[in-house]
Amino acid sequence: MSLPSSCRLTSVRSIVLACLSLNLAAAGCATAKGRSVDFDHYRHRLKAIRTHDFFQTSRILDRHGRLLAEVAPYGYRTWVPIDDIPRVLRDAVVATEDRTFYQNRGIDRKAFARAIVQNSQAGGTVSGASTITMQLVRLVAFDADERFERSIERKMREVYLAAEVDEAYSKAEILESYLNVAYFGNGAYGVETAANRYFGKHVRELAPVESTLLAGLLQAPTALNPFVNPAGARARQAVVLDRMVQEGLLRPAEAELIRTSPIRLTEPPAPPPRYGGHFVDYVIGEALPRAIGPQLAARGGFTVTTTIDLELNDRLTALAARHIAGLRASGRLVTDAAVVVERPSTGEILAMVGGIDYDDPQSGQINMAVHPRQPGSSFKPIAYAAALEAGWTPDSILDDAPLPDAVGHGYRPTNFDGVYRGAVPMRLALGNSLNAAAVALTADVGVVRVHDLATRLGVRLDRDPWRYGLSIALGSAEVPLVDITGAYGAFANGGRFVKPAGILKIETMSGEGTLYVLAPHARRVVSAATARQISDMLSDVRARQPVFPAGPPMQVSRPAAVKTGTTNDVRDTLTLGYTPYVTVGVWTGNKDGRPMGGEVLSSTSAAPIWHDTMEAIFADTALMTTLGNGRMPSDGFAVAAPGAVGD
């Protein structure tokens, strides 16, 4: 009387486990104990058969659906359900890789017994007798080193786990996982990506001749690469067809028809396109993990619709590059620029230029939109807003003079032109960017109050405000351009801060659903009155004189608030400005921090780029209509921005 199949399976597993323990014991007790008893870490990995927790390709799109990049850190994979895979492809793989797949319990016992004899006689692993289930275990449960280890012990672990997998999962689940996990060459993991790579189709659209060719690639995907070895790939396909006939899955005439059918391959895959490189890096490294969590983000398999307008981003990249080229041609020691454009009412990042040449092998991929640098005097509006919140007014008198020793303790900031102006109204002090007056104001208002407001405006600072001291008002803290641009966005948005956002929507590529939709949250940080007063002072052309003459580059064709900033030794120059519906931040300098020289000023480096960026936005009717929530937006800071999120 024969044993039931479950008993036979348990018997096989017991024998394998005993053999495994004996073999490992001969190699060392510690190894035997660790590997013969604890299979939990393998079982944890094997749960991915059901959860599909494998890396997959993600597609990054701009706000209009234009492809920015395909993200595949280890290769390309798009998961498809078993029903989307043609029957002929499934049959071809089973006939070639594991003809007893639907009958065996994860192990082909006859083939396994034969392999044990052959391996024992050879004194090593010469025959694997691998079933599809065993191959799946090897691909999913083992890391790279263990996967390619050629030893009897590893094979026994594989066999033991294959038996467990067969008990825990259906044949459909096992075959679906195998066909989505297996490597088909040319960076293609899984049948969907392979179909696209070789034939430019979805797997469900494959003809029998294409399906059987793919099945043959599994044996040696690199050696049988049909782009470079078409004869070898067709020869292996003939083997696949013969085995399908032997298994009764095809009639001889059907196999012959497939064998003689022509195959049209697509062009060999070129490197995937990548547009808006700095922004894509920002989405992958920061925005995506923040939206859905780092583990899920790392797995991939999403369509990510971002906030960026690719056409605008490209236009601004070219614009910044032209300005930098002009500066260099005139002998200025400046090599790079960054531009951030945000919609203050929603936080949407419409453009992010992290540098003028992403492909520069030296430092191109450093994103100066997110890389912290000192903002210089462009930080001052935050200090002034803190004073306004504390009860000061634009007409309050500030003392633009050297700090008393009792206050500054030896710290004596000077103004750009070296001249102290004594008692000046706040409006003129901010408009002319008087350093001594800003530091005196901060001494009265308090470093802690200024630090707290900056933090609530989304500027990432050290928790200890006294790390910066009074110099915080002059932009001594290193902060990302995207942060300081977002802070200005709160002034543009009537005192409501909306965190900068790079993603509109995240959907699963398999069509399972939507994982994330941008839902902007506005938080009241300063009063509407304070925001209007800051905007009024920063847009007052007369208050900027005589330091900043009227006209371009700090004056544009629509009412706008603007502030420049320059750091010590002229290592960085910035210009930030806004209307109620758009905020623009610009940085210029050298990525390695080299000084640009005293002849470089904010008004001649960053400000012209800011000016032309604003004018490019004003001239873009479609973009302006978007910013106006379906109509051209109104000017002036007394009205709420269209589409603004409530408090």
For the stretch 323-374, pLDDT in tens is 999 999 998 899 999 999 999 999 999 999 999 999 888 888 899 999 999 9
Average the pLDDT over each of 102-106, 496-500, 543-547 and give the range with the smallest value. 543-547
Angle between helices 152-168 and 132-141 (to 10 degrees): 100
Cα distances from 317 to residues 70, 139, 191, 279, 336, in angstroms, run 21, 43, 38, 12, 11
Q: Is the confidence at residue 87, as pLDDT, over 90?
A: yes
CATH code of the region 75-260: 1.10.3810.10
What is the tens place of the pLDDT at every residue in 31-64? 333 444 457 888 888 888 888 888 888 999 999 9
Which tokens go with 67?
């492809």
Return d(Cα 355, Cα 98) in angstroms, integer: 53
Nearest to 56 by CA among 159, 189, 175, 168: 189
pLDDT of res. 557: 95
pLDDT of res. 22: 45
Percent of the chain with pLDDT over 70: 87
Nearest to 175 by CA among 301, 298, 90, 79: 90
Task: Check: CB of residue 48 under 8 Å from CB of residue 140.
Answer: yes
Most confident of the following: 16-30, 307-321, 391-405: 307-321
- 550 or 276, which is more confident? 276
Which tokens go with 189?
């993991």
pLDDT, mean of residues 240-260: 96
- 270 or 458, which is more confident? 458
Q: Which amino acid is at 504?
A: L
Which tokens go with 240?
């696949």
Q: Name the DSSP letter for residue 56.
A: B
Average the pLDDT over each of 12-21, 491-500, 557-566 and give the range with the smallest value. 12-21
Secondary structure class of 325 (helix, strand, coil): helix
pTM confidence score? 0.80
- Size (the chain), residues: 647
pLDDT of res. 270: 72
- 196 or 552, which is more confident? 196
Q: What are phi and psi of 596, to 5 degrees?
A: -90, -10
Q: Is the confidence at residue 475, as pLDDT, over 70?
A: yes
For the chain, give percent helix, strand, coil, nearest 5. 50, 15, 40
pLDDT of res. 511: 66
pLDDT, mean of residues 467-480: 94
Q: Is the confidence at residue 25, as pLDDT, over 70?
A: no
Q: Is the confidence at residue 393, as pLDDT, over 50?
A: yes
State the residue for tokens 């026994």: 156
Mean of per-residue pLDDT scores for the chain: 87
Residues 6 or more apart whose Cβ sits within 8 Å of residue 22:
none
- Indicate the burial class of 528 (C-beta count within 10 angstroms; 0-12, 13-18, 19 or more): middle
Return d(Cα 150, Cα 138) in angstroms, integer: 12
Average the pLDDT over each of 218-222, 370-374, 544-548, 590-594 and give the range with the smallest value. 544-548
CA 621 to chain centre: 30
pLDDT of res. 552: 84
Which tokens go with 137?
């275990």
Return d(Cα 370, Cα 279) in angstroms, integer: 10
pLDDT of res. 31: 39
pLDDT band at 142 (very low <50, low <70, confident <90, very high): confident
Q: Return the domain boundaries, the chain.
A: 75-260
pLDDT of res. 363: 86
Task: Check: CB of residue 68 under 8 Å from CB of residue 61.
Answer: yes
Return d(Cα 484, Cα 584) in angstroms, integer: 10
Terminal alpha carbon distance of the chain: 78
pLDDT of res. 26: 43
State the residue for tokens 């053999």: 19
Task: Check: CB of residue 427 under 8 Å from CB of residue 395.
Answer: yes
pLDDT of res. 639: 44
Question: Kindly report the CA angle at 615 between 310 and 454, in degrees rounded to 5?
Answer: 80
pLDDT of res. 97: 94
pLDDT of res. 510: 67
Q: Is the confidence at residue 394, as pLDDT, over 80?
A: yes
Residue 629: CA count within 13 A, CB half-sphere: 12
pLDDT, mean of residues 69-75: 81
Secondary structure class of 478 (helix, strand, coil): coil
